[in-house]
Amino acid sequence: MKTAKLLSIAAAMALATSIAFAEQSQGYTPSPENLQARKEFAENRFGIFLHWGIYSTYAQGEWYFQNYPIDKYEYAKAADAFYPHRFNAAEWVSAIKASGAKYICITSRHHDGFSMWDTDQSEYNIVDATPFKRDVLRELADECERQGIKLHFYYSHIDWGRDDYPKGRTGLKVIGINRDKENWSQYYNFMNAQLTELLTNYGKIGAIWFDGLWDHDQDTVPFDWQLEEQYALIHRLQPACLVGNNHHITPFEGEDIQIFERDIPGENKAGLSGQDISRLPLETCQTMSWAWGYKLEDQNYKSTEELIQYLVSTAGKGANLLLNIGPRANGELPERAVERLYAMGEWMNVNGETIYGTTAGDIPAQEWGVTTRKGDRLFVHIFNLKDTELVLPLECKVKKAFTFADKTPVKFKKTTEGVKLIFDEVPSGVDYIVELITK
Ligand code: GLC
């Protein structure tokens, strides 16, 4: 081969390498503000999820629109009946803050496509389409700012009612959709314009919480959601805003947190959480009863004890708990939910130190409970022990052991398996916490 040709091949290869490198370095690098927000998010450990929309008027959960063959124009009439006269942002935020939660995530637009703010992108919104005419997201955003609690927006990638949304595997029973009008780029622009409003007009937003990507997980040709550009838009508008996506798979580039639905990371009881655990801050979303959106027959609330142990167990795995409430159509938080909020708060007021700002403990979840760690302090959370002895398979050395509640010393002994705690009586209560000082 002639030297000139060899040289030009070498030059082409060098160019290709530099292009590949440039492409790589164009990848997502979280800003310092974003990294700080991730840290704070993980320290906060506890948030409250709110599923609220015109679906609440049907009181059948947020999937009602697609569960039956329902005409979209008939469904939309719920907007004209949506008058949540008991809605009071200050009361909501106070009750949520009382629980010890550090952030609120509310559905800005769920799969039914109804927008809960004064959007210019569609008249199908709370200000233009309901007699209530109030922008509840604005009221909530102002109140969160006033009471010092972060606000996150849930945003659905799905829209069961719009013609231009390219239909996936859900929403197919909805009547009145003209599938000839499917138009991804139009729908994508609509979403981005809505996200721009949410991130421009409502102050600092802690996170955008996407949902619905799984709608296209059975497509024969992989569906391109153009997430990278959408995530970049969010980070450009608010660098500290965390991007999370409830897609049930390993996080994509540009995501700042990893979400697990109805399961503590590493468990997969509900069948939606088989994905690997990443190094991003983790969040488990879970319901207080069964449904997300208000459902009349769903009054089977988890007990306060169960919820506290779930929160502690989530922290024991190094994850946050985003605990859901479905407010009623009249704007009230169901009283059982409010009772749970206050009861959890009472517990968090006393024991929050063993949850906020902790990392996963040294020992994976056991029959008897879990552990959390903060520096040299290891918190042993005992939910269920039938004995006066507990062997902890610890690798570190223990300097001191005492009850977290009243600092009473707890006897301990080094054994071949680790460290044995010896109690005078069988530990009882919702969470009997022993603090170990380790070295
Ligand atoms: C699921 C449901 C949705 C709910 C979400 C909350 O993805 O589709 O209705 O909002 O879970 O985690």
Instruction: Render pLDDT for 371-429 as a digit per residue (tens, 0 to 9).
Output: 999 999 999 999 999 999 999 999 999 999 999 999 999 999 999 999 999 999 999 99
Ligand 1 close to Cβ of residue 62 (< 6 A)? yes
Residues 79 and 130 sit within 8 Å (Cβ to Cβ): yes
Mean pLDDT of 202-227: 98
* pLDDT, average across residues 139-165: 98
285 lines ligand 1 (CB under 6 A): yes
Contact between 207 and 258 (Cβ < 8 Å): no
Q: Answer whether residue 7 shows pLDDT above 50.
A: no
Residue 217 Cα, ligand 1 centroid: separation in angstroms?
15
Q: Which of 412, 311, 316, 420 is nearest to 362 (CA)?
A: 316
Q: Residue 225's Cα: distance from chain center in Å? A: 20
Q: Which of 361, 360, 423 is nearest to 391 (CA)?
A: 423
Q: Does domain 369-438 have CATH number 2.60.40.1180?
A: yes
Question: Cα separation of 215 and 221, whole Å?
Answer: 13
Q: Which residue ranges does the chain devote to CATH 3.20.20.80? A: 9-358
Question: What's the 30 CA to ligand 1 centre distance in angstroms?
Answer: 27
pLDDT of residue 4: 46
Of 155, 211, 198, 207, the closest CA to residue 44 belongs to 207
Distance 261 CA to ligand 1 centre (A): 8
Q: Classify domain 9-358 by CATH architecture.
A: Alpha-Beta Barrel (3.20)
pLDDT in tens, 347-383: 999 999 999 999 999 999 999 999 999 999 999 999 9
Structure tokens at 7: 């040289």
The residue whose C-alpha atom lies closest to atom 4 belonging to ligand 1 is 292
- Atom 12 of ligand 1, nearest CA residue: 261
Query: pLDDT tens digits for 257-300?
Result: 999 999 999 999 999 999 999 999 999 999 999 999 999 999 99
How far does residue 157's CA lie from ligand 1's centre (Å)? 11
Say what the pLDDT of residue 325 is. 98
**Which ligand 1 atom lies nearest to the CA of residue 51?**
10
Per-residue pLDDT tens over the stretch 69-107: 999 999 999 999 999 999 999 999 999 999 999 999 999
Q: Taking residues 243-268, what's their average pLDDT?
A: 97
pLDDT for residue 26: 64
pTM (two decimals): 0.94
**Intervals of CATH 2.60.40.1180 along the chain:** 369-438
Q: Is the pLDDT of residue 309 over 60?
A: yes
Mutation test residue for ligand 1: of 261, 289, 322, 323, the one with most atoms within 8 Å of CB: 261
Per-residue pLDDT band for 14 (boundaries 50, 70, 90) equals very low
